[in-house]
Structure 1
């Protein structure tokens, strides 16, 4: 195993009218990022030259026609399209959404066939990407379908990891979707990810309640007593360090989260509001449960500041570094899983 070799990072361009291109450029203006990885940006040379000129960047792009022609140590751009694209910063545009999907599909194909090692996705607009051909609420569901996996939205930072039982579904439907089968699937995905992707031998996981105060013995709903608690007991009986359900309102404020390797929230905002409050700007959206590694920044297109040159690239850089770390951790985990006696000689 050579942990020092450059990891090939495929990057989908996201919404061209948002801050995605800016934070990609800023991330690779830092020479340390290029030392750790070789990027392959799925867009076009013309489009990236426009952004280079607009943001007065000194970055040098290496244009290629097919992903297979990538050059290690260069900031590669593969031409997914050749025509000029009209950029209107901060504007939602269905045509721009189509380019975001072209980039994502090309990058995903390269990930599937091994041309790139990992995928980092710049932010998209979930509304303007919808079409007859693309009918997914976001990256996570699309990639689960494309890679035939059981995906889980896993928000990670150095201080906190938060997974979700349900993600992009209306709140009124969330509790109905939290079944024994789903709970088992998501917890298994989190535990496996903590082991193979983050190197945690015996993960300790907390689960947040579905209802306020875990239902208060049925006074505020019975889903926790009827579905969640019995399922968690079964999972714990198999030797897993899984605890809860915890009342979500005091869990983060009391710093209880610091005692666990990961927390699983019942629905989107229950988990993402505290995560982004604690770790915004350094957090990463990681899609756990897939055969390939995909990360993204923990923010959206930020139309309100697009084109102004003031976007913070911190989360994008962290997404790149996290993808590299997980890729290497997975290689190590798989190596020693296949060669258990090697552990004795380390």
Structure 2
């Protein structure tokens, strides 16, 4: 059964309370039209968010609840994950505040796993102050990869621009050691599948960037492009996946070659995210592809330098909510098309 828009429940983890996360979340839902698209549930504490709302002079009405059964459509629901007060100091890296970011995130993930929320949108965390004996992950994605079925892949999205990564949060000097044929195949298959089921693209075209300058110049500046990447791409192409490359990374975005493809896969974090963030102008979204559940986040961090000043741009978070809802609807439509192949043929016609 297809849900009405306002009944799509968007779970939101609050992130680092000393950063801009709470601000961009609340600013997003200042526009009451957002409540016609979904029902938000923020995993935090209603008193703390009321304090932040008052401090930043935001015009939102918060509905505090103690269990998911109390959710009210048309309201900004705040599930009280904890009751005690938290000492906030905007712009400060605080380990204690980091613990509450983890409590919010793990509670929201649990609700996502149990189907109590339909999608998850995560506000920014500080990757350093969340570390503990109980939670030792580089960030959201690695924890979700453990808790949810599938293989997580970071896919940055802004309209038709989609940039994925073969490797993400690892040192640059370890990238070449991680680039195996098996990894390349797995990531390409994940991107191919998500373009079909999550973005509704029937025959997606994928571009892959080269690892070395000028793709190694026939082995003069590194052998990985010829020895590993090219053979791996050929095998995927022969299997019927429309994957092309490797392309020289230095000119690929500058020449707008990305516009010819439905997704681009970079070899490491900065190779993909530097051009993406340059082109997305603060409207980009981080989508975790490859999982059995849907999670998005804004493409920025805690921004301590402007926290508590009311200056944060909320567009990226708003776009993260939009994308989560779109992917939710696309997945449901894809499931229906798989059940009824006749609809698939009619759609292609």
TM-score w.r.t. the length of structure 2 is 0.97
The alpha carbon displacement at 1:191 in A equals 0.4
Counterpart-to-counterpart distance in 2, 1:201 and 1:79: 42
**Equivalent in the alignment of 2:25:** 24
1:126 aligned partner: 127
Query: 1-side partners of 2:220 and 2:343: how far apart?
Result: 54
Match of 1:100?
101
**Partner-residue secondary structure (3-state), 1:233:** helix
Q: Distance in 1 between matches of 2:248 and 2:107?
A: 43
Aligned to 1:110: 111
SS at match of 2:167: coil
8 Å CA contact 1:80–1:106 kept in 2: the answer is yes
Cα RMSD after superposing both structures: 1.1
| Residue equivalent to 2:209 | 208
Alignment of 1:149-168 (within 5 A): 149-168=150-169
**Residue 2 in structure 1 maps to residue 2 in structure 2:** yes
Work out the CA distance in 1 between the residues paired with 2:268 and 2:68.
Answer: 38
Where do 5+ consecutive residues of structure 2 fail to align?
Answer: none
Matched, 1:263 2:264: yes
- Distance across 2 between alignment mates of 1:105 and 1:67: 15
Contact 2:160 2:262 in 1 (8 A): no
Given that 1:159 and 1:279 are in contact with CA atoms closer than 8 Å, whether structure 2 keeps it comes out as: no
State the distance in 2 between where 1:101 and 1:241 align: 39
Determine whether 1:48 maps to 2:49: yes
Report matched runs for 1:127-142 at 5 Å.
Answer: 127-142=128-143
Does the 8 A contact of 2:15 with 2:105 survive in 1? yes
Range with bigger deviation, 63-72 or 196-205: 63-72
Return the alpha-carbon distance in structure 2 between the equivalents of residues 170 and 146 of structure 1: 24
Return the alpha-carbon distance in structure 2 between the equivalents of residues 280 and 87 of structure 1.
30
* SS of equivalent residue, structure 2 residue 207: strand
Residues 338, 344 of structure 2: 8 Å contact kept: no
Shifted more, 3-12 versus 161-170: the winner is 3-12
Q: Determine the C-alpha separation between the residues in 2 that align with 1:203 and 1:345.
A: 19
- Segments of structure 1 that go 5 or more residues without pairing to the other structure are none
**Deviation of residue 2 (structure 1)?**
3.3
Instruction: Give the drift of 1:58.
Output: 2.2
Question: Which residue of structure 1 lines up, in the alignment, with residue 224 of structure 2?
Answer: 223
Shift of 1:342: 3.6
> Which residue is equivalent to 2:171?
170
Contact 1:165 1:265 in 2 (8 A): yes
Once residues 163 and 145 of structure 1 are traced to their aligned partners in structure 2, the CA distance between those partners, rounded to angstroms, is 19
State the 4+ residue runs in structure 1 displaced beyond 6 angstroms: none
Q: CA deviation at 1:276?
A: 0.0
165-174 or 67-76: bigger deviation: 67-76
How big is the shift at 1:68? Answer: 2.8
User: For the residues of structure 1 that align with 2:225 and 2:275, how far apart are their CA atoms?
Assistant: 21
| Secondary structure of residue in 2 paired with 1:221 | coil
Give the TM-score, by structure 1 length: 0.98
- Identify the residue that residue 300 of structure 2 maps to in structure 1: 299
Paired positions, count: 346
Matches of 1:205 and 1:142, distance apart in 2: 27
- Aligned-partner SS, 1:318: helix
Rounded Cα–Cα distance in structure 2 between residues aligned with 1:292 and 1:99: 23
- The alignment partner of 1:151 has SS state of strand
Cα contact 1:280–1:298 (8 A) shared by 2: no
